[in-house]
Copies of this chain bind each other. A is one copy, B any other.
Amino acid sequence: MSMVIGKSKAGEKTGEDAHKSANVPATKSRDGRDRLLYGAGRLLAERGYAGMELRDVAERGEAPRGSIYHHFPGGKAQLATEAAELDGVRIRIGIERSLVERGLKETLARFGEIFRKQASNDPSRIGCPVAAAALARPEDPALAAAATAAFESWEGAIAAALEREGVAADRAATFAAMVVSTVEGALVRTRAAGDLAPLDSAIAGLGQSLDSLLAEAK
């Protein structure tokens, strides 16, 4: 899942939703290291780990290519791992905040809106930087481990919200794990379809199942 979308006033793509949630300053004031991480996250989502070229990361981050090894001596692997970790944390913070403000049903609907905005230019480029990191295994276990930690943190936030609504802990954990898998799978399908129908169906299916879960908890 990527919640990083929108455009800054300068017309440069930034991660408005996610960055606001995480109190990350706007692109212009971020330093070179942050800009490189931002560029790496976007390219991971769009092209996957194999397709993430360092020259494109530098261009997307508006940073000199030579600065990559200054900030990330471990090169591409370090850059991708830190980008996936950072996006994982940003998304978790966004999920937690939305759950408190809106509850799970509206948070699911909001996922749909966020992806709709992200995909408005080109649904066939939609993707999740964390899923891209996930697919790096077995070539890069550290990157895959960062992805798993992120997925589990999102699950944890959703399970906690379900428990607050009266769902038993085991059912809450199972449902939360399904939510994360469903949204990730829907992104793969959306990319293939080139339109948002698979994502809409997945969100609708989760909403339908959530209604049943909550009704049974009462």
- A212 and B216 contact, CB distance less than 8 A: yes
User: Chain A, interface size: which category?
Assistant: 35 or more
Q: Does A60 contact B (CB under 8 A)?
A: no
| Contact stretch, chosen from A33-41, A95-103, A197-205 | A197-205
* Chain B residues positioned under 8 Å from A213 (CB to CB): 208-209, 212
Interface of chain A, helix or strand or loop or mixed?
helix
Q: Does A206 contact B (CB under 8 A)?
A: yes
* Chain B residues positioned under 8 Å from A185 (CB to CB): 180-188
Q: List 29 A-B contacts (CB under 8 A).
A: A48-B48, A48-B50, A50-B51, A122-B138, A125-B138, A131-B188, A137-B192, A137-B194, A138-B194, A144-B193, A144-B194, A145-B192, A148-B192, A151-B192, A174-B201, A174-B204, A175-B209, A177-B204, A178-B202, A178-B204, A178-B208, A178-B209, A180-B189, A181-B183, A181-B185, A181-B205, A184-B189, A188-B188, A208-B213
Using CB atoms and an 8 Å cutoff, list the residues of chain A in contact with chain B. Answer: 48, 50-51, 122, 124-125, 131, 133-135, 137-138, 141, 144-145, 147-148, 151, 171, 173-175, 177-189, 191-194, 198, 201-202, 204-206, 208-209, 212-213, 216
